[in-house]
């Protein structure tokens, strides 16, 4: 594969970051095109559905972060072959999209409205999702979400938990993961030490 | 497999219907639990993420319509094994979620606000998605979205196009698919004639 360009916002998180990570673990060369929030509106018409990430490959523009993550996750050996284990992985990916949609609705809000919106998401969808993630992780053995090995589900949850802990989202408590789902907090710390993840962030540093 | 119960709203469309269809094509017995919009709020606390469809199996409640659709789609022989063909199928599934999210934001609106909201979705996300679907279908050979055979992507798009054509959504033109993406309109008519689809709706009639 060659001539791959991934376009996403210029921060190490969100819907694009797990794809960057999977591409890196798969050893696939790609152009990591990063755009600013400020430039986004002027580029909007070049995104087929008006959102990013998008991936350009073989002269075409491809959409949908989880579909892309699954494709490159397979290349990286990070996706289960067994249909039920694949479901366990897929459920997590789509739970994280629910989470992204919920917080997405607060972007653009300001002042007290932003505070109230973010607090509602933290107490609502974020906490519901964390409880379910916690339950799924325990049921899967406590270490990985599927197949007893690293998968794209671990990468996706890791990126989100990492972002929350770093205080990326104003008005969302940085210890929310620790408070609601301690097992997910430990999971995050463990995934950070996975060789492929560590190598990626050492290169980024 | 046994003791499967799928819970969704009581209409033949939306996020639950492609799963019902895949279960039926796979020949898997399930309890088709249908709830009314009116009863939804009182049942909310029994849904892990506050939304449906959910699927109960082996004493546990499972979420995420596309993850469930993919799992049962594999059982029904409706999911590509080749990773790139699987991506083509997955991209379509997630495009349809963007579409559902967009229209979801108009539920609860009334009067002129509903009219304006729906018209904006029809001219915006629905039309963008239809153009992309049209392009993908042509690129895939014109008949099916992936692997040159019926897949869950076809079922998902079929259900949506069918619902639009039936006038299920007030203020969305019933000929939108025909106007924006004639190939998707023809696709809908063809998928309706697929033996598994036909058999399911003959049983429902």
Q: What is the pLDDT of residues A6-40, one digit of tens each?
A: 999 999 999 999 999 999 999 999 999 999 999 99
Task: Looking at the structure, give the CATH architecture of the domain made up of residues A83-194.
Answer: Up-down Bundle (1.20)
For residue A77, what is the nearest residue in chain B, using CA coordinates? B83
> What value does the mean pLDDT take over residues A55-59?
95
- A76-112 pLDDT per residue, tens: 999 999 999 999 999 999 999 999 999 999 999 999 9
What is the domain partition of chain B in residue ranges?
5-77, 83-201
Residue B49: which of A68, A90, A128 has the nearest Cβ?
Answer: A128
Residue A44 scores a pLDDT above 60: yes
Pick left, alpha or beta for residue A101 (phi over 0 → left; psi -120 to 50 → alpha; otherwise beta): alpha
A vs B, Cβ pairs < 8 A, gives 90
- Residue B27 neighbours by CB distance under 10 Å: 9
Q: What is the CA radius of gyration of chain A?
A: 17
Q: Which residues of B133-166 are buried (b: 16+ CB within 10 A; e: fewer)?
A: bbebbeebeeebbbbeebbbbbbbbbbbbbbbbe
Q: How far is A96 from chain B (nearest CA, A)?
A: 10
Q: How far is B129 from chain A (nearest CA, A)?
A: 7
Contact B129, B189 (CB under 8 A): no
Interface of A to B at Cβ within 8 Å reads: 48-51, 60, 62-68, 70-71, 74-75, 83-84, 86-87, 90-91, 93-95, 97-98, 101, 124-125, 128-129, 131-132, 139
Distance between CA atoms of residues B154 and B76, nearest Å: 13
> What value does the mean pLDDT take over residues A111-135?
97
Distance between CA atoms of residues B78 and B73, nearest Å: 5
For residue A85, what is the nearest residue in chain B, using CA coordinates? B71
Residue A191 scores a pLDDT above 70: yes
Contact A71 B84 (CB under 8 A): yes
Q: Please determine, looking at this structure, whether the domain spanning B83-201 carries the CATH number 1.20.1050.10.
A: yes
Q: What is the CA radius of gyration of chain B?
A: 17
Whole-number average pLDDT of chain A: 96
Residue A180 scores a pLDDT above 60: yes
Whole-number average pLDDT of chain B: 96
Helices and strands (H, E) in chain A, number of each type: 10, 4
Residue B132: which of A48, A66, A129 has the nearest Cβ?
Answer: A48
Give the number of C-alpha atoms closer than 13 A to the C-alpha of residue A196, restricted to the C-beta side: 19
CA distances from A120 to A112, A114, A171 (A): 12, 10, 10
For residue B75, what is the nearest residue in chain A, using CA coordinates? A83
**Which residues, in sequence order, are CB contacts of B45 under 8 Å at separation 6+?**
none
For residue B128, what is the nearest residue in chain A, using CA coordinates? A49
Regarding pTM above 0.80, the answer is yes
Quick one: B5-77 is in which CATH superfamily?
Glutaredoxin (3.40.30.10)
Instruction: State percent of chain B over pLDDT 70.
Output: 99
- B88-142 pLDDT per residue, tens: 999 999 999 999 999 999 999 999 999 999 999 999 999 999 999 999 999 999 9
Residue A132: which of B49, B70, B97 has the nearest Cβ?
Answer: B49
Contact B194, B21 (CB under 8 A): no
The answer to whether the complex's ipTM is over 0.95 is yes
Helix (H, G, I), strand (E, B) or coil at A76: coil
Distance between CA atoms of residues B108 and B114, nearest Å: 8
């Amino acid at each position: 594969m060659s001539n791959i360009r991934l376009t996403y916002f210029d921060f190490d998180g969100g819907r694009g970051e797990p794809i960057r990570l999977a591409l890196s673990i798969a050893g696939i060369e790609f152009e990591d095109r990063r755009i600013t929030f400020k430039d986004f509106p002027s580029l909007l018409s070049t995104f087929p559905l008006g959102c990013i990430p998008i991936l350009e490959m073989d002269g075409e523009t491809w959409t949908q972060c989880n579909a892309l993550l699954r494709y490159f996750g397979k290349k990286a050996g990070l996706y289960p072959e067994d249909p039920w284990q694949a479901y366990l992985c897929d459920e997590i990916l789509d739970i994280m999209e629910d989470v992204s949609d919920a917080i997405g609705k607060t972007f653009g809000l300001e002042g007290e409205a932003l505070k109230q919106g973010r607090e509602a998401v933290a107490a609502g969808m974020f906490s519901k999702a964390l409880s379910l993630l916690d339950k799924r992780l325990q049921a899967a053995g406590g270490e990985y979400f599927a197949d007893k090995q690293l998968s794209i589900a671990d990468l996706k949850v890791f990126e989100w938990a990492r972002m929350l802990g770093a205080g990326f989202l104003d008005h969302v408590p940085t210890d929310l993961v620790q408070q609601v789902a301690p097992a997910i907090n430990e999971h995050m710390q463990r995934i950070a030490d996975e060789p492929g993840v560590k190598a990626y962030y050492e290169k980024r540093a």
